[in-house]
Amino acid sequence: MSAVTFTPRADVRSTPPASGPRRIAPRAHIADRIFQSVAVSAGAVTVSIMLAVGLFLSLRAKDALVVAGPSFLFEQAWSPETGVFGIAAVLFGTVSIALVAMSVSVPLALGTSLLISEVLRGRLQRTLISIVDLMAAVPSVVFGLWGVFFLQAGIIPVSQWISTYFGWIPIFAVTGADGARLTEASAVTSSAFIAGLVVALMVVPTQTSVMREAFSQAPVGEREGALALGSTRFGMIRAVVLPFGRGGIIGGTMLGLGRALGETIAVYMIISPIFTINWEVLKTGSNSVSALIALRYGESSDFGLSALMAAGLVLFLVTLVINFTASSIVARSRSGASS
Amino acid sequence: MKLPRAATRRRVILTTTIALLSTLVLSTTAPVSSALADQTYEPIQGRGSTWSSGAIDQWRGAVANQMSVNYTADGSSDGRANFITKIVDFAVSEIPFQTNPTDGSTPEQPGTDFAYMPIVAGGTSFMYNLKIGGKRVTNLRLSGETIAKIFTGKITKWNDPQIAGDNPGLAMPDKTITPVVRSDGSGSSAQFSLWMVNQYPQIWNDFCNSGVGCAAGSMTSQYPVFPGAKGQAKSDGVAGYVAQDYGEGAITYVEYSYPLKAKFPVAKVLNSSGYYIEPTASSVAVGMLGAAIKDDLTQDLGGVYNNSDPRAYPLSSYSYLIVPTSAPRGVFTEGHGRTLAAFAKYSLCEGQQQVGLLGYSPLPMNLVQAGFSQIRRIPGGGQLDLDINSCNNPTFKPGDSLESNQLAITAPQPAACDKKGPDQCTTGTAGAPDETPISGSGNGGGSSDAGVNAGKAGAGTAATTAAGGSSSLATDAVYDENGQLVSAAAGGGTAVSAPFTLASESFGISQGLMLAAVALLLLGVFLPPFLSRKLRRSSSSPR
């Protein structure tokens, strides 16, 4: 508020009133009024576009939702043509891919952002910042191609290793229909795990830059105070930077989660779409709402399209809830409150 | 005096090379520029089949200096849907509009102002990735029933007796089959399921009745991703999956041009006269002689599936250009129609010269003639000079009779080793011309298929009989995942190597050492900071 200040011109009336303080009718400068109206209308347009998207999705989804009823949330199959369709399996796949992505990307982003903001200095720091930002500029279809034709072949042994030694944890098991363990390469390709890894690499730059921004704002006085009290660099980071940047960590994570839930093309290229709930993240076959829409929208009938809109609406609401939760957490933290 | 002479000679060589090159360039572009009059064409948009996109992309590239034809290959279903919503000028599809679908899907309502025009023939091939003893198999043979059972989950292992019976020359490994199917709406899926509905209704109906997501007795564009199968989007996706290293054991259905491009083999499919045939340009041309063409030019493929010609490939079909016949229609105008008609004419005539090399089969004269009548119906296509005698299509010469197909006339008879029996040709197929050594009990032989690789594929090293020789032995022999012989029936008089087995990987000394190394590493990383802190504290506490 210090840089932009309104300078109201006092419009002094020629005849002073009989009693009380003189009345001032502030009249904003023309530039201020233009600025104000532009800012307000930009905000209003953004909000109304978002509301319009939600309204549009709800209207188009109505036909399908009326037919499916509450079973839409619990049915796994997807066959709008025969009236049996639901989002359970698809939403489960979306969430599992996003969770895999988060469990990989958050540690990576946290480490990278701390490295950039606390350890590196000067030219190296600037170079790494631009490299990470460059990663965000890679189109998702390129990530998808890379995932299918390069990463997948390299990840197969990793998946097989995890399923061999940690198969006793149910989500890391890779079993066939009869419960027997599968060891072949084809059993672990096109899985939620591989899709999640690719999505993780796509969201790391976003998360890194949000976290780095928060960490770099940690007050110098407190940092120096911690150091003066004899803490090591790690101690200072733990006592000052991380608590201060908590809002940034959560905000960055949630921003990445939102993107991971909605990632389309890379997931579409990697997964083998199935319509059953697959708890085994390493096993082939998964699905996601956005990949389903990309796969089916072009060739759907009106009703099929309506069903896809309903799926999109659910994703929209889930993302909205996540973002609101995140922003309320961020607002209560120190770095969030200051920014 | 020597140097200048050398210099002039070099210059002469240079100028002649340039001259030669320029004439070459001129001569290759000349037919195109003469066929398409030098006028400006409005750009047009199309969408649809990935099955025939190889040929369409070739034609688009060839006419790119004359006209701009944009084509997005995202599946036949998508192409038809976009044609109905009138946001494209043309669509390409393997199957006609599904106005009366029997699989429960919503009927498509394209209206009446459109026409079908066949643009190219091709074979839906079965591309696979299989190795025996570390060496790629290139001469796999499959009967129709085997294929139907593989893609409905009935046969799940490569060493299934039915596959071994088709391949007497191969020691099939004990490896799981990964059928790769299209996850998007696809004309390839439709053609393939139509063939199964027609030829193996029992297998298909049992499959659909098991609740995988298809309707018994009707074809489907959305092939169910059944347990054990893998779904990938578009032809590029399925072919790309099979071609990866991790795709070993996978098989997919895709147009012949894709394995050709990916340098992978295709399975030879058993036809009704008992020959295993590769979907080369000529065998598809012969196969399509059995097609019944309806009044609207759509195909009835019943006669193709059961074509009794020994050279015929049973899964041959045509791909269709769907063109508007009234203007304006959505984005389509008469100006676009002029471009579309010229492009259609190019693809029916000169365009067909190249398709054989790409893995398709050129159209015969009767369909080109019929295609011309459809071009005349395109608004703006009326003024085009459509003369069948100047068409320059490789399947007929000027003055030929309507029914003749040069390609079918000159198509070679299949080799004796391609006949169902104890012999199996060793010659490679499609994009993988290398021979496969005999590992089973059958005899070898060179295939005479006049395929794309006919020049490269010489006569096979025939008749290197494998140990044993009698085919009864083969059914009793057992092979492991890598195609190594594990055991054979006793009494064959053949020496069977005992497999060399490694000790099972239980927890031994090496594992213990590795674990110790990891523990040491972790200690080395985490201990010093802890210790130093402890030491510092203890040293400072007395003060």
Cβ of B131 under 8 Å from any chain A Cβ?
no
Cα separation, B113 vs B117, whole angstroms: 13
Mean pLDDT confidence for B287-305: 87
Nearest chain A residue to B183 by CA distance is: A273
Nearest to A186 among B80, B231, B250 (CB): B250
By Cβ distance, the residue of B106, B178, B225 closest to A186 is B178
pLDDT in tens, A155-210: 999 999 999 888 888 889 888 877 788 888 888 889 999 999 999 999 999 999 99
Q: Do A189 and B241 touch (CB under 8 A)?
A: yes
Choice between B439 and A88, residue whose per-residue pLDDT is larger: A88
- Mutate one of A272, A277, A280 to test the B interface: name it (highest B CB count within 10 A): A272
* Residues contacting B192, CB < 8 A, separation 6+: B124, B151, B223, B253, B315
Q: Do A272 and B105 touch (CB under 8 A)?
A: no
Q: Write out pLDDT tens, residues B149-163.
A: 999 999 999 999 999
Rounded to a whole number of angstroms, the distance from the CA of B77 to the nearest CA of chain A is: 5
pLDDT at A296: 85
Q: How far apart are CA B498 and CA B283, in angstroms?
A: 44
Contacts of A278 (CB under 8 A, 6+ apart): A89, A92, A93, A96, A192, A285, A286
Q: Which amino acid is at B28?
A: T
Q: Has residue A8 been placed in a domain? A: no
Distance from CA of B313 to the nearest CA of A (A): 30
* B82 and chain A in contact, CB less than 8 A: yes
Q: What is the pLDDT of residue B294?
A: 85
Residue pLDDT, tens place only, A284-330: 889 999 999 988 887 777 888 899 999 999 999 999 898 888 888 77
Contact B106 A184 (CB under 8 A): no
Count how many domains chain A has. 1
The letter for the amino acid at A99 is L
Contacts of A301 in chain B (CB under 8 A): 105-106
Contacts of B190 in chain A (CB under 8 A): none
B531 confidence band (pLDDT: 50, 70, 90): confident
Measured in angstroms, the CA of B237 and the nearest CA of chain A are apart by 8
Among A110, A138, A89, A282, smallest CA distance to A196 is for A282
The chain A residue lying nearest B231, using CA atoms, is A272
The reply to whether residue B106 touches residue A156, judged by beta carbons under 8 angstroms, is no
Residues B221, B105: Cα–Cα separation, whole Å? 10
Say whether A148 and B240 touch across the interface (CB within 8 A): yes
Task: Tell me the average pLDDT of chain B.
Answer: 80
> How does residue B33 score in pLDDT terms, banded at 50, 70 and 90?
very low
What does the pLDDT read at residue B460? Answer: 36
- Is B166 touching A (CB cutoff 8 A)? no
- B230 and A186: CB-CB below 8 Å? yes
Q: Say what the pLDDT of residue B453 is.
A: 40
Nearest-neighbour CA in chain B from A7: distance (Å): 55
- Three-state secondary structure call for residue A58: helix
What is the tens place of the pLDDT at every residue in B434-452?
888 887 776 666 665 444 4
**What does the pLDDT read at residue B177?**
92
Q: Under an 8 A CB cutoff, do A298 and B78 touch?
A: yes
pLDDT in tens, A112-123: 999 999 998 889
Whether residue A185 and residue B221 make contact (CB cut-off 8 A), yes or no, is no
Chain A residues whose C-beta is within 8 A of a chain B C-beta are: 77, 79, 81-82, 148-149, 152-153, 156, 177, 184-186, 189-190, 268-269, 272-275, 284-285, 295-296, 298-304
> pTM of the full predicted structure?
0.76
Task: Select the more confidently predicted residue: A100 or B17.
Answer: A100
| B183's tokens | 């996850």
Closest-CA distance, B183 to chain A, in angstroms, reads 7
B484 touches A at CB < 8 Å:
no
Instruction: For residue A274, count other CB atoms closer than 10 A to its CB.
Output: 25
What integer pLDDT is reported at residue B26 of this predicted model?
46
Label residue B157 exposed, middle or buried (CB < 10 Å: 0-12, 13-18, 19+). middle
pLDDT at residue A13, as a whole number: 52
Cα–Cα distance, A183 to A167 (Å, whole number)? 11
* A185:B183 CB<8 A: no
Tell if the CB–CB gap between A81 and B247 is shorter than 8 Å: no
Beta strands at B141-142 and B268-270: parallel, antiparallel or unpaired: parallel
pLDDT surpasses 90 at B39? no
**For residues B467 and A154, which has the higher predicted lDDT (pLDDT)?**
A154
Answer yes or no: is A69 within a domain. Answer: yes
Residue A43 lies in a domain: no
Cis peptide before A16 (omega within 30 of 0): no
Residue B506 pLDDT exceeds 70:
no
**Which chain A residue has the Cα nearest residue B182?**
A272
- Report residue B28's pLDDT band, with 50, 70 and 90 as the boundaries: very low
**pLDDT computed for residue A130 by the predictor:** 92
Helix A192-216, helix A122-136: angle, nearest 10: 140
Helical H runs in B306-358?
A: 334-348, 352-358
Please spell the DSSP secondary structure of A108-121, one letter per residue: HHHHHHHIIIII--
Check A186 against B225: CB less than 8 A apart: no
Mutate which of A90, A188, A299 to test chain B, going by most B C-beta atoms within 10 A? A299
Which residues form the domain of A314?
52-79+90-333
Q: What is the pLDDT of residue B505?
A: 55
Strand order in the sheet with B250-255: B69-73, B44-48, B90-93, B316-324, B114-128, B250-255, B178-182, B230-232
Say if the Cβ atoms of B103 and A81 lie within 8 Å.
yes
Burial-class residue A323 by CB neighbours within 10 Å (0-12, 13-18, 19+): middle
Q: What is the mean pLDDT of residues B308-334?
A: 89
Min Cα separation B530/chain A (Å)? 13
What is the pLDDT at residue B125?
94
- Segment B114-124 mean pLDDT: 91
Contact assessment for residue B285 and residue B361, using Cβ atoms and an 8 Å cutoff: yes
Q: How confident is the model at residue B14 (pLDDT cuts 50, 70, 90)?
A: low
Whether the per-residue pLDDT at B501 is higher than 80: the answer is no
Question: Chain B residue with minimal CA distance to A81?
Answer: B105
How many distinct helices (H) and strands (E) make up chain A? 14, 2
pLDDT value for A26:
78
Cβ burial of B162 (10 Å; 0-12, 13-18, 19+) is middle
Q: What is the mean pLDDT of residues B321-333?
A: 87
Per-residue pLDDT at A339: 44
Is B250 in the A-facing interface, judged by CB distances under 8 Å?
A: yes
Mutation choice for A interface testing from B230, B235, B480, B505 by most A CBs within 10 A: B230
Cβ-defined contact of A298 to B245 (cutoff 8 Å): no
The tokens describing A338, both together, are 């200051």
B237–chain A Cβ distance below 8 A for any pair: yes
Indicate yes or no: CB of A272 within 8 angstroms of CB of B245: no
How close A271 comes to chain B (CA, Å)? 8
Residue of A nearest to B226 (CA): A274
Look at B105 and A156 and tell me if their CB atoms are within 8 Å. Answer: no
Q: Reply yes or no on whether the pLDDT at B17 is more than 60.
A: no
Residues of A in contact with B229 (CB under 8 A): 272
Q: Does A207 reside within a domain?
A: yes
Chain B nearest-CA distance from A301, in A, is 6
Measured between CA atoms, the residue of chain B closest to residue A183 is B176
Here the ipTM equals 0.76
CATH code of the domain containing A263: 1.10.3720.10
> Mean pLDDT score of chain A, rounded to an integer?
87
3-state secondary structure of B136: strand
Percentage of chain B with pLDDT > 70? 79
Smallest Cα distance from A127 to chain B, Å: 28
Check whether B491 has a pLDDT greater than 60: no
Question: Across the interface, do B248 and A185 touch by the CB < 8 Å criterion?
Answer: yes
